[in-house]
Every structure is written in C-alpha cells, then in structure tokens.
Structure 1
C-alpha cells in the first residue's frame, strides 16, 4: 500500500533545471537593466529630465525585487515538493513589467 501522506521525494533534475532557467533569466535581467538608461530617449524632445531618476529608481527596484523574490519562490517550491522550473520562468514577465513600469513613469515624469 502506498504511503499517500508522505510527500514525494525531491526531484533533483527539476532543481537543476530550475537553477539553469534562473541563471538564464538572470542574464536576461542584466540585458533588461542595460535598457533602463534608454529612458533618456523619452526626454530628448523637450529636455525635461528632472524627474527621470524617479523612473530609473522604479525600474531598478522592480528588477532587483524580481531577482530576489523568484529564488525564494523556487526554494519554497522545492521544499513543498512541487515543480520548481516553471517558477523560475516567472522572472521573465516580472522583468518586462518592471521595465515597462519604469518607462511609463518616465513618460509621465517628462510630461510634467
């Protein structure tokens, strides 16, 4: 008879896959962070860059928060014996959201 109350064992292949996917998405985070200074293109037309550091801060905080939170979620998934590699993929939309939010703040900040 199966022991249904015991959690399944940790799948180490899943952990390795999660670490690899997280490493690749951290490389993507590096690329996205390189595009943050491109917010200057929004302010080229009128030269109003007074509030542009606010947009940089929003984007950087979002990128750093995503890179910090996702490994914690991966560890939680491993501890609960769930698949961990799909959790690592959550970093991609979080990075895109952080960059777009920073861009929107830049657009609003330049128009003020």
Structure 2
C-alpha cells in the first residue's frame, strides 16, 4: 500500500509541475488553484507513504516519478527537446527508481 501511495504522490507531483506552467507566474486563477491543490495532495500522499518507507527511498522515488513524468509531458505538451542524450538520462532516473524499489524491503 505504501508504494501505491508513493506512486499517487509522484503523479500528483507531475500534475502540479505541469500546472505551474499554466499559472503564468500564479497570475491565472484556476491553474493556480489546481497547482496549489495538487501540491498539497502530493505532499500528503508522500507523507502517508513515508510512514512505512525509508525517507531517502520515498523521497528519491517521489522526485524521480515527478521528474520523469514532467519531462515526458513537457516533450508532448510543450515541444521540449527529444534528444537521445536527454532521453537516455531520463532512462537512468527510471533505472534508479526501479533499483530503489527492488532493494527496499516491502513494509
């Protein structure tokens, strides 16, 4: 269950990071409301997951999901770079997240 909570927290991190792009510096009301709400929910789900997972693992996986998810959506939504070196580096982050999952005992 802790890993599911952590995954949800990571997806919510992607949601707020992408939402922040649409706030235009928090000058747009509804994108700002969305961003603040998803930020809060992401932190809540991370906190719940960390009740059972080591903080270093939980935080690293949360950041990894957020970073990779945001980068992928940035490619598709905003036309950001698809350079092979960039995609390779994202793959390294995914490998690190998978590695942390493998070596962390289930709570």
TM-score (norm 1): 0.29
Work out which structure has the larger RCO, using CA pairs closer than 8 Å and 6 or more positions apart in sequence: 1
Structure with the largest fraction of helix: 2
Which structure would you say has the larger Rg?
A: 1
Give the TM-score taking structure 2 as reference length.
0.30
